[in-house]
Amino acid sequence: MRFPRLRNLREDADKTQEQIAAVLNCKREVYRRYEAGIHEIPVWALVKLAEYYQTSTDYILGLTDIRAPYEK
């Protein structure tokens, strides 16, 4: 499954795939495959990216167009 918002969020933050891979503690190629939809992104990585970009996992998954994170 492809999640185009992964790329959009990364580009909006002016980050490279290498930099985001470092946030996830993985290789750039692994992150590239998540972004391209070749491999499904694990839940732990999705949560970490939502925290990093200060958004919700639903936004990254395309389930909502509201970028703001949910209140805790």
Q: Could you read off the pLDDT of 16-60 as tens digits, one per residue?
A: 999 999 999 999 999 999 999 999 999 999 999 999 999 999 999
Place of tokens 């970490």: 48
Tally Cβ neighbours within 10 Å of residue 17. 18
Can you name the CATH fold of 4-61?
434 Repressor (Amino-terminal Domain) (1.10.260)
Q: Is 35 left (phi over 0), alpha (psi -120 to 50) or beta?
A: alpha
Compute CA distances 36 → 5, 8, 66, whole Å: 11, 12, 23
Model pTM?
0.91
Find, among 15, 12, 11, the residue nearest to 23 by Cα.
Answer: 15
